[in-house]
Amino acid sequence: MSLLVGCLYVRSPGGAEYLVCRSCLSSFYYLELNRPREIDITFDLTPRAIEVIEELRERGDLWLRVGLYVKMMENPQELFTRKVEYIMISHREYGDLIKIAKSDWVEEYLPKLGYKRTRLIEVPLFEPVPNELSDVPKYIDEAWKHYLRGDYDDTIDNCRRAMEAIAAGVRRLNCEKSEVDEKTGKTRCVPDWKKFFGGHETLSRNFEKMFRGLWGFLQPGSHAGRAISRSEAECALMTTYSLANYVIKTVLRGVKTGGN
């Protein structure tokens, strides 16, 4: 009886190998000496795993290696007592490496994996950050991490926390006003964007519309009953980052624009 764990490695052009994915077979296998046995291993390539593969491939052919950890035992009670053996899967042509030509990987495999060509944009770090907004980068960074892992629910959640931190920070800058909640009828304190932008009527009104719109998009009720998609998480993350960056840079510049 055997418990199997498959490991997928990618070799960079420089020869270094990196583990990008593991797959634990959910059931026990009965193996006999000198008797071949076919075993199917499926690797779940998350968007982050594909991005790592693309970075390591460096626009060339893709070189993979599949390893198999095998724990042999006579019965399940020996799960924590037997040693683990490591087996490298051999390929007829390239030994323990598997080659996927660049053209096949780009034209056939990537489209099936849902990976599209992307355009790189510069995303500056939040440095420095005003004390009143010091919590914002923490939530944005967490949102990025979850997005790259494919954890889109957590991406949305951290974007929402970042927005809460922005609102709290602006209020701490003495830019706040009271308004009545339409649903509860209770009075609450919210950011006063007109005061924040130095009395600029048009700028503050348009920014407040964007801020409130994104806040509504990030609420759990906006996505109830279905899974968050990659595009939704991407929209939430990029928009939250943009608004946060604009608010932080505005505070650092000390811009107070008057007029309409």
CA gyration radius for the chain?
26
Could you report the per-residue pLDDT of 232-253, keeping only the tens digit for each?
999 999 999 999 999 999 999 8
Does pTM top 0.75 for this prediction? no
How sure is the predictor about 89, in pLDDT bands with cuts at 50, 70 and 90?
Answer: low
CA dist 66 → 5, 7, 19, 84, 95 (Å): 10, 6, 10, 16, 11
Handedness of CA 100, 102, 105, 110 (dihedral sign): positive
Q: What's at 88, amino acid-wise?
A: M
The CA distance from 72 to 225, in Å, is 43
Q: Give the chain's domains with CATH numbers.
A: 2-112 (no CATH), 131-253 (1.20.120.330)
Tokens found for residue 37? 């046995």
Strand pairing class (176-180; 62-72): unpaired
Could you report the per-residue pLDDT of 104-138, keeping only the tens digit for each?
888 888 888 877 655 556 677 788 999 999 999 99
pLDDT at position 31 over 80: no
